[in-house]
Amino acid sequence: MVNGDSANVPRYRRSRGPTTRLRVSPIESGDRAREVLERISIRGDDGRVESVCDRTRSVTLAFASVDASSRAMGRLEALDCGLRCSWTERAVAAGERDVAERTMARRRAEDLAIPGLTLIENFVSVDEERALVTLARESGEETRLARRRVKHFGYAFDYGTRDANERCEAIPSLALEILKRLRSDMIGYQSAIRCDQVTVNEYPRGTGLAPHVDTHSAFGETILSLTLEGCAVMEFRTSAEENRALFLPRRSMLVLSADARYRWQHYIPHRKFDNVEGETIARDDVRLSYTFRERRSGPCMCAFPMQCDSRDGAESKCSKRRAGKTQEFPELVGE
């Protein structure tokens, strides 16, 4: 969903390619807008219209996905009721122009060509999203980092050593239930997904996450991240030159395994607007994520010894970590 600063009402213009927003015109009255909505509403969560914006002679409908807006457009055209519809995108305002220069985020994980990177859209329903957000707000012990708030379940994550050994409040059963729906055909490999540690991050608009690889020695081969309440762009890099970006819509599940988990750093740039396939998307007021991990019992046997703290030199890497001499999680410096 696209939100703007309330003081700065976003403007939209016709888009050349498909987007999540459909402008329908001519609409003479609010009644007519309601009628349109009823006629093109689609069953299923992603078909739901997320927001409606009335203009004098048109109405703009925001859908959860481009696929849903395309299906709605198809239905409206089939009705042949004299209404025209077109896709719209947020017009870039002065001050946001540099967004276009940023790494363009893709909507499909396959387009990043990073082995082991999977994005499953609409992994949870709107009702489950609401329940998980309430659970995260009402349970667990909160830690305030420089710019975001975190809660841990199962085991507390230690930002000094970057592993998790101390037991804490149990993982909410709803969260574990939801994980069970991950099937091997969704993620391309067979091993069962187990999880005994959950971190909930709450990012206010404009806040991101520093580049890091989740500690090899501390966590297992699959890291999962569920995006709730607001979208974000996650970037992946192996060096300053090799940098790719993926749009994470609400209710999507990101799966990091193989190279995506062990070799590529992931991070969320601190910013309010992202370039998503050429469209400027404003981040929502808050994004809440559940990160699911399994604590590792033996040494890490990954194929990336350069990135692995579980191999040669592990002791010196660990002592640097303990002393806080690390580029990872720099938002903690001084806390």
Ligand X SMILES: O=C(O)CCC(=O)C(=O)O
The rounded distance, in Å, linking the Cα atoms of 269 and 279 is 17
The nearest distance, CB 214 to Fe ion, in angstroms, is 4
- Considering only 122, 225, 252, 265, the residue that binds ligand X (CB under 6 A) is 225
Residue found under tokens 């888009």 = 15
Alpha helices for the chain (secondary structure H) = 30-40, 66-79, 126-138, 173-179, 184-187, 258-262, 314-322
| 128 touching Fe ion, by CB under 5 A | no
Q: Which is nearer to ligand X, 19 or 199 (CB)?
A: 199
Q: Which is nearer to Fe ion, 23 or 216 (CB)?
A: 216
Selection from Fe ion, ligand X, none that 289 binds (CB < 5 to 8 A by kind) is: ligand X
| 221 touching Fe ion, by CB under 5 A | no
Contacts (CB under 5 A) with Fe ion, residues 13-72: none
Q: Which is nearer to ligand X, 214 or 229 (CB)?
A: 214
Q: Which is nearer to ligand X, 96 or 214 (CB)?
A: 214
Q: Which is nearer to ligand X, 69 or 118 (CB)?
A: 118
Listed in order, strand segments (DSSP E) in 147-304 are 149-153, 155-158, 163-167, 197-204, 209-212, 223-228, 232-237, 243-248, 253-256, 265-268, 273-276, 279-282, 286-293
Taking a C-beta distance cutoff of 8 angstroms, is the pair 191, 270 a contact?
no
Please give, one letter per residue, the 3-state secondary structure of 49-104: EEEEEECCCCEEEEECCHHHHHHHHHHHHHHCCCCEEEEEEECCCCCCHHHHHCCC
| 265 touching ligand X, by CB under 6 A | no
With CB under 5 A as the contact rule, which of the stretches 59-67, 191-199, 212-220, 229-237 interacts with Fe ion? 212-220
- 117 token code pair: 């990177």
Nearest C-alpha neighbor of 259 from the set 157, 123, 114: 114
Cβ atoms within 10 Å of 154's Cβ, excluding its own: 23
How many angstroms from the chain centroid is the CA of residue 262? 19
| 199 touching ligand X, by CB under 6 A | yes
The nearest distance, CB 21 to ligand X, in angstroms, is 25
Q: Which is nearer to Fe ion, 72 or 120 (CB)?
A: 120
Q: Which is nearer to ligand X, 280 or 291 (CB)?
A: 291
Taking a C-beta distance cutoff of 8 angstroms, is the pair 122, 251 a contact?
yes
Nearest C-alpha neighbor of 87 from the set 101, 68, 106, 114: 68
The nearest distance, CB 266 to Fe ion, in angstroms, is 6
| 209 touching ligand X, by CB under 6 A | yes
| 291 touching ligand X, by CB under 6 A | yes
| 215 touching ligand X, by CB under 6 A | no
The nearest distance, CB 97 to ligand X, in angstroms, is 28
The nearest distance, CB 289 to ligand X, in angstroms, is 3
- Considering only 46, 96, 214, 294, the residue that binds ligand X (CB under 6 A) is 214
| 214 touching Fe ion, by CB under 5 A | yes
Q: Point out which residues bind ligand X (CB under 6 A).
A: 199, 201, 209, 214, 225, 266, 289, 291
